[in-house]
Amino acid sequence: MELLKDLYYSKEHTWVRIENKIATVGITAFAQKELGEIVYVDLPNVNHNFKQDEVFGSVEAIKTVSDLFMPLSGKIIETNEQLLKEPTLVNSNPFDNGWIVKIEIEDLRETENLLTAEQYAQLNN
């Protein structure tokens, strides 16, 4: 399972890359492997606010649909529109071109509720 050490992870299988007060969010390699090939990503509206652990969208695989849970409270400032045409980027490139949303973080202290790469790996072994 590919994990990047500079990211935060949630128990709900999202990863978070934080730069200043902006977080890029995607789903982990573990989650996309469990789901299989992603065929559709339901993206939220820009400027919509979400609280930590709130459902912000979903991913649809060939045999199942899975909700996406917001790892940190914040406002959607960008969605990855490329996923509307190429949802399989979530599978092929989950940490780069397969990101889902970017948010303006409301409270950086919420990162205390997230996991390190090592903690996430232990949770999913």
Strands 55-61 vs 38-42: parallel, antiparallel or unpaired: antiparallel
For residue 27, what are the contacts with CB-CB under 8 A and spacing of at least 6?
Answer: 13, 14, 15, 59, 68, 90, 94, 98, 100
Q: For residue 64, what pLDDT is reported?
A: 92
Q: What are the helix and strand counts (H, E) for the chain?
A: 4, 9
Neighbour-count burial for 8-35, b at 16+ CB within 10 Å, e otherwise: bbbebbbbbbbeeeebbbbbbbbbbeeb
pTM of the entire predicted model? 0.94
pLDDT band at 26 (very low <50, low <70, confident <90, very high): very high
